[in-house]
Every structure is written in structure tokens, then in C-alpha cells.
Structure 1
């Protein structure tokens, strides 16, 4: 894994203005329990951080989607963005919730997994189509609404958009991943 220098490293407490301190404290007091990952560069814009982290908190902890499908979708977005931090964060969670290691490896390598269950296939197809075309066709929409409901479609779309935003922030900032033993880094894929 090629490592670029971190463009926006963690800020010291003495460097934070009042808005940044309040945003950091909200993260510390919330379910994340700290300022890490995308929130390190986002701390440069505390109002954006505050608003995004509230969306992310909903997406991660209160969405209508089952956690297994949320984590699975996060892997697909992380792969699409070659986003190492999000990949290393969400692979162990996806595996713990039942995504197979074969599916994870196929996604890592940029291949369509062969062993997805019905719900994973639905989420994979919806996510890939949305990322590729900025929308989904009528049949994909109908299948997804039939299985997840309209709220599920909106929550899945919001999850994809949120993790796309977070991944782009991390990519621009060159935020290094917190590597996890046994999790392979994402290889660069040809454009």
C-alpha cells in the first residue's frame, strides 16, 4: 500500500478554536468516543463536521437498514473510492456480522462476489449502479423498494452518499488507515 504524507494530521488542543473544541467534544461524548478517521480533517470545518457526523451517526447506528447490509454497502463504497481507512475500519465489522471472507476478498480485488446472499446482491447491485450512473433503473429501484421499502431505499442512498463524501475527504487529506491484522489493503484498480 503506497502511503502519502498525511496532509491534515490531528490538531493539538491548543490549535483548536471554540467551534472546533465543541465539535470534537460532541464526537468524544457520542458513540464514536473520539476524533479519528475522517473527523480529523473535517475538524478544519467544525460546522460541516458537526452536521456530517450527525448524519453518519444516524447512518451507522439508527438506520432502517440491518447493520450487516450497512457494513456491506460501506465496503462497496470504500472499494469504489480505494479508501483504505474506511476499508480497514469496516472489513472486521462486516465479517463479524456475517459477510463471508470470500465476498470481502472479491470486493477488495474489484470483482463481483460469487457467493453473495440475496440481500447482499441487492445492495451490491444498487450501490454499483448508483455509483456508476448517479441513479438506478426502474427494475433496480423496484427490487430494492420491494425488499427494503422506501425508507430503506432512502437510507441506503444516504449511506452511499455519506460514505462517498467521507471517503473523498479522507482521500484528499491522505488520512492514514489504522491497519488491522489480517485485513489486506485495497490494491489500486485501473481506471
Structure 2
């Protein structure tokens, strides 16, 4: 891993350093589909009630939303790139590849370029997410295309996914949570300032 990553501000808490609420929240997370306290849940454990609520929203968006897995994973890459969020990038690149996103598409995203290898769903999602993150809303044309493809529920799930991963990215960036080892996954370069 890159040794130039900043020092982790909120490392994992030892079990004996947790209060009762933290232990209860950690056990609930471990009992769910994530099976561990890792990534954003390490810093979020400092506020166990918030972590519990956030993880339930994330559990729905990651595992039960109306969106196809390929769309969800691609969306997570777009948000991770926007926030230069290394942990989420390293987790979701392999998942996006497995779901069918082309390696050339991921390479372009990593470099901050608009991919030329996107399929129709990825193109629509790229436009939707880009408009939402840049303009804090989407155009009528993009909205109509998204509703035609994913339905109103899908549009809300997509919007929720962007919001959830933006919040998680901010938590991870503030805490300087390091990425997990991800063989073959290149870290995100910083955007030029």
C-alpha cells in the first residue's frame, strides 16, 4: 500500500476500550451481512447510535436496493472518485469488475476522465451522478431518462446511494481511514487543484 497515505486518526477500538453502546453496535454490525467492523464503521463507532442507523441505510442500499449490482457498484466508484476516497475505491473496484464494468472504464474514472467504454446504464448513471454531485440536482432530461430506465424507486435508490456514499466518504476522509489491501487496484490520484 502507498506509504504516503495520511496517518489513521481513528483506528479500530479495542473491545475493552468500548463502552456498552459501542459494543452493542459493533456486535449488531458483525451479526449482519458485513460480518466485521471495518472501513467507515471504525470511525462511526465513536457515535454508536449514528453508526447503527447509517449501517442500516447502507445495508439496504448495498444489498437490497432496486438497482442492478452493476449500477450500484459503478455508482460507488463515481462517488469514491469524486471524494478521492481510497478505502471505498479499493473495496468497490473488484466488485465492479466482477459485476461487469470494464477495466478500461474503471481506469478512465480513476484518472478523472469520462470513460468511452461505458454501456448505456453506466452512461446514464455517470450523467446522473455527475450532475447531482456538481449541480446538486439533475436536469429534466437526465431525470426522465433515469425514471424511464430505473423507475421512480430506482431514482430514489440511486440518489440515496450517492448521498450515503458521499457521507461515508466524508467520514473516511476526515478519519484518514486507510484502504484495505486490494491486489491489482491502483490508488486514486489526487485531482489537480
TM class by shorter-chain length? over 0.9
Tell me, which stretches of 5 or more residues in structure 1 are unaligned? none
Counterpart CA distance in 2 for 1:131 and 1:32 is: 27
Flag as ranges the 4+ runs of structure 1 deviating above 2 A: none
- How far apart in 2 are the matches of 1:9 and 1:181? 22
Q: Distance in 2 between matches of 1:96 and 1:162?
A: 22
1:92 aligns with 2:94: yes
Partner of 2:146: 144
Identify the match of residue 30 of structure 1 among 29, 32, 36. Answer: 32
Query: What's the secondary structure of 1:33's corresponding residue?
Result: coil
Q: Map Cα deviations across residues 38-75 of structure 1 (whole Å, 9 max, x no partner).
A: 00000000010000000000000000000110000000
Q: CA RMSD in A?
A: 0.6
Matches within 5 A, 1:152-171: 152-171=154-173
Among 121, 124, 128, the alignment partner of 2:123 is 121
Query: What is the CA–CA distance in structure 1 between the aligned matches of 2:61 and 2:181, rounded to whole Å?
Result: 23
Q: Give the unaligned 5+ runs of structure 2.
A: none
User: CA–CA distance in 1 between the matches of 2:88 and 2:5?
Assistant: 15
Structure 1, residues 96-151: CA drift from partner, whole Å, max 9, x if none? Answer: 01000000000000000001000000011000100001100101100000100000
User: Quick one: distance in 1 between partners of 2:183 and 2:37?
Assistant: 22
Q: Distance in 2 between matches of 1:46 and 1:14?
A: 15
Deviation of the 1:169 alpha carbon: 0.1
TM-score by length of 2: 0.98
**Pick aligned residue for 2:81 from 65, 68, 79:** 79
